[in-house]
Amino acid sequence: MAGPQRLRGALALGTAMAGLLAAAGCASSQGSEHPAPGLSAAIAPPDSHSARVGVLLFDQGASRSCTASVVDSPGRDLLVTAAHCVTATDGSPVTGLSFAPGYRDGAAPLGSWTVDRVVVDHRWSANADPEYDVAFLTVDPAGGRQIEDVVGGNPLGVNRGFGLAVTVTGYPNDHEEPITCTTRTTARSATQERFDCGGFSDGTSGSPWLTEDDTVVGVIGGYQQGGDTPDVSYSVTFDNRVAALFQQATGQ
């Protein structure tokens, strides 16, 4: 996709793959109109919450890309991330993806799940419309078990409004363990929201925004495909658009 935006997507994937992806690189604080935030992310502890968050991998696990997390679903096989992380420049799904929950120190202690299906809104596929920068992914069983049976899943929350206390956990490409920050959402527009916390740089697109009851109400993406500085992050507002996409992904 052409344009001046700097994206929170993939680490170096090789020239061919980097040219394919809509998520190419991103966040620099130089020249930003935003002042430095009062909060900065810390390393996330290895607990049941961070176990549901992981990295998307390419090339049979050789290259890291964005962040994704497990969503509670009837099939117990669903992830949520940003659409720009998993689609090529022509809007088609990227193939050869896998997901490693709880990734730390270059290892996948909880296993790896192959992505079977990528579901995005047709308005994203056609035009990379930032109002639809959300994707649901189904994953195949691993070792005979669905991913939600291993790590659990966060319920999807829609139409919750703004001003929510959220904890956001994700994987910058220059870290081998996840970072996390608890802050409060604010409205950027009626359909986009933001939070301010330093540290959410390349690789954190798709990071889930969780309320106090572990409901996912956003993912880093949307406006500027997540933000052009690691200090300010955006998400599509999780409303009826996202509920419809979830229904499409789960066949409900």
How does 71-80 read in b/e, with b if 16+ C-beta sit within 10 Å?
Answer: bbbeebbbbb
Architecture of domain 50-153+243-250: Beta Barrel (2.40)
> Fold match between 38-46+155-239 and 50-153+243-250?
yes
pTM of structure: 0.88
Q: What are the domain boundaries of the chain? A: 38-46+155-239, 50-153+243-250
Mean pLDDT check: name the lowest of 38-42, 194-198, 219-223, 246-250: 38-42
Give residue-wise pLDDT tens across range 148-162: 999 999 999 999 999
How does 111-121 read in b/e, with b if 16+ C-beta sit within 10 Å?
Answer: bbbebeebbbb
Give residue-wise pLDDT tens across range 176-219: 999 999 999 999 999 999 999 999 998 999 999 999 999 999 99
Nearest to 70 by CA among 134, 6, 128, 156: 156
User: According to the model, what pLDDT value does residue 123 have?
Assistant: 96
Pick the CATH number of 38-46+155-239 from 2.40.10.10, 3.90.550.50, 2.30.300.10, 1.10.460.10: 2.40.10.10
CA distance 35 to 66: 25
User: Does the pLDDT value for residue 6 go beyond 90?
Assistant: no
